[in-house]
Structure 1
Amino acid sequence: MTNRLPHSLRADARDNRERILAVTRTVFAAEGLDVAMREIARRAEVGPATLYRHFPTKEALVTEVFTEQMATCTAIVDEGLADPAPWRGFCQVIAKVCELHAQDRGFTAAFVSAFPRAIDFAAARERALRKVAELARRAKEAGKLRPDFVLDDLIMVLMANGGIRTTSPAAAVAASRRFAALLVQSLQTEPVRPPLPPAVRLPLTVVT
């Protein structure tokens, strides 16, 4: 009994931390960074003391969530770069990054604005873009990616993807998947047209 107790406590603490981060990602993406720490604790079903034990300040909590998101983005790009088929890897990067971006719902912009010195976001972004550029180069050499594609096109894509407005987070992800599929088809050199993901009904009220 005594030997099992520390392990159990560590497991409980780990579960609490993961639940706090999961709730924080959802809350901040949907409602912004102004949500109070006590409200995050309530939704994560932990006491305020438990929340502050893991994350003494809101900046520490938000920075951890953002760091995890950056790690996810880096893993997506690395996975695409490691794919022996460059075009397939490129398509997967576009699709997954667009989906991640749709789930973000302005969180990155809000984080960078609120805590500009918390993490070197610019350097991490540049590293990721260099890897995408290398993947694009390989896809071009394989004859799959149109030769006039430039990295600024990807920036434009993410800007457009970030402008998707829907009635729910799930609809935003679904719309992003269709958008990414349309984009990929426009970038390939071969006239292959696989079926698109299902269309999503979007509110016309945001179109001016």
Structure 2
Amino acid sequence: MTERLPQIARSDALDNRERILDAARVLFATEGLDVTMREVARSADVGPATLYRHFPTKEILATEAFADQMRVCHGVVHDGLEDPDPWRGFCSVIEKICELHARDRGFTAAFMSAFPGAIDFATDRDYALKAIAELARRAKETGKLRSDFVVDDLILMLMANGGIRAASPAAQVAASRRFAAFAIQAFRAAPKQTSLPPVARLALGRSL
């Protein structure tokens, strides 16, 4: 009987950790990083002491909570680099990253933050940005990406994309897709008019 106690304790600890991560993912996605650690603990149905035992800081919690999104982000960039047409790969990265960020407000905030206490997250983010810079260099060589594009333009675009507020999660993604289409047109070396994704209803807080 006594030999089973440590195993039960470890199982309970793992359950608590997963509940905390699940709660954090939901709250960060819908509310952003302004959610307090106490709110996460309450949503996960654990005490603050249990939360801080697993995740001493919000930065560490966010890094772990967004691990899957960062892996997806890496996959998107990798696929873009592997595309034999650098411009097409670049456009695909813009579209998919905008959608990824539109689905999770917290991920956008974390991606854009310094997060000094989350070294792994910062390393992953820097890797993604450097890879996108390499893809942009190749796209410029095709003559299709404007020559004055810099990675800071991507950051500016993500900041704007992160400000989209729509009436529903589906509308938010739809609005992000339309915004990405506008951004891609602006990034073209020789802009040309193309059809845009459908308009989405945005949350303006007032009737129009």
Spell out, residue by residue over 1:58-115, the C-alpha distance to the aligned partner (whole angstroms, 9 max, x if none): 7565432122222221111111111111111100100111111222214453698796
How many angstroms apart in 2 are the aligned matches of 1:87 and 1:111?
A: 24
Give me the TM-score of the superposition, normalised by structure 1.
0.71
- For the 8 Å contact 2:95–2:177, the answer to whether it is kept is yes
Corresponding residue for residue 192 of structure 2: 191
Q: What are the within-5 Å matches in structure 2 for residues 10-49 of structure 1? A: 21=21, 24-31=24-31, 32-34=34-36, 36-37=39-40, 39-41=42-44
Corresponding residue for residue 91 of structure 2: 91
> Which amino acid counterpart does residue 54 of structure 2 have in structure 1?
P
SS of equivalent to 2:186: helix
- For the 8 Å contact 2:55–2:61, the answer to whether it is kept is yes
> Which amino acid counterpart does residue 199 of structure 2 have in structure 1?
A
Residue 152 (structure 1) shift = 1.8
How many angstroms apart in 2 are the aligned matches of 1:127 and 1:73?
A: 10
Q: Does 1:156 align with 2:182?
A: no
Q: Does 1:105 align with 2:133?
A: no
> Which amino acid counterpart does residue 93 of structure 1 have in structure 2?
V
Corresponding residue for residue 126 of structure 2: 126
**Judging changes above 3 Å, is the alpha-carbon distance between structure 1 residues 154 and 103 closer, same or farther for their aligned structure 2 residues?**
same
Q: Does 1:56 align with 2:54?
A: yes
Residue 184 (structure 1) shift = 0.9
> Which amino acid counterpart does residue 74 of structure 1 have in structure 2?
H
Corresponding residue for residue 147 of structure 1: 147
Residue 151 (structure 1) shift = 1.8
Residue 125 (structure 1) shift = 2.2
Identity %: 58
**Judging changes above 3 Å, is the alpha-carbon distance between structure 1 residues 115 and 86 closer, same or farther for their aligned structure 2 residues?**
closer
Residue 179 (structure 1) shift = 0.1
Corresponding residue for residue 7 of structure 2: none
- For the 8 Å contact 1:140–1:147, the answer to whether it is kept is yes
How many angstroms apart in 1 are the aligned matches of 2:115 and 2:122?
A: 13
Give me the TM-score of the superposition, normalised by structure 2.
0.71
SS of equivalent to 1:156: helix
- For the 8 Å contact 1:66–1:108, the answer to whether it is kept is no
How many angstroms apart in 2 are the aligned matches of 1:23 and 1:166?
A: 23
- For the 8 Å contact 1:144–1:190, the answer to whether it is kept is no
How many angstroms apart in 1 are the aligned matches of 2:176 and 2:67?
A: 23
- For the 8 Å contact 1:181–1:196, the answer to whether it is kept is yes
How many angstroms apart in 1 are the aligned matches of 2:94 and 2:111?
A: 23
- For the 8 Å contact 2:28–2:106, the answer to whether it is kept is no
How many angstroms apart in 1 are the aligned matches of 2:112 and 2:83?
A: 31
SS of equivalent to 1:191: coil
How many angstroms apart in 2 are the aligned matches of 1:114 and 1:94?
A: 22
> Which amino acid counterpart does residue 196 of structure 2 have in structure 1?
L
Structure 1 residue runs without a partner (length 5+): 1-13, 43-47
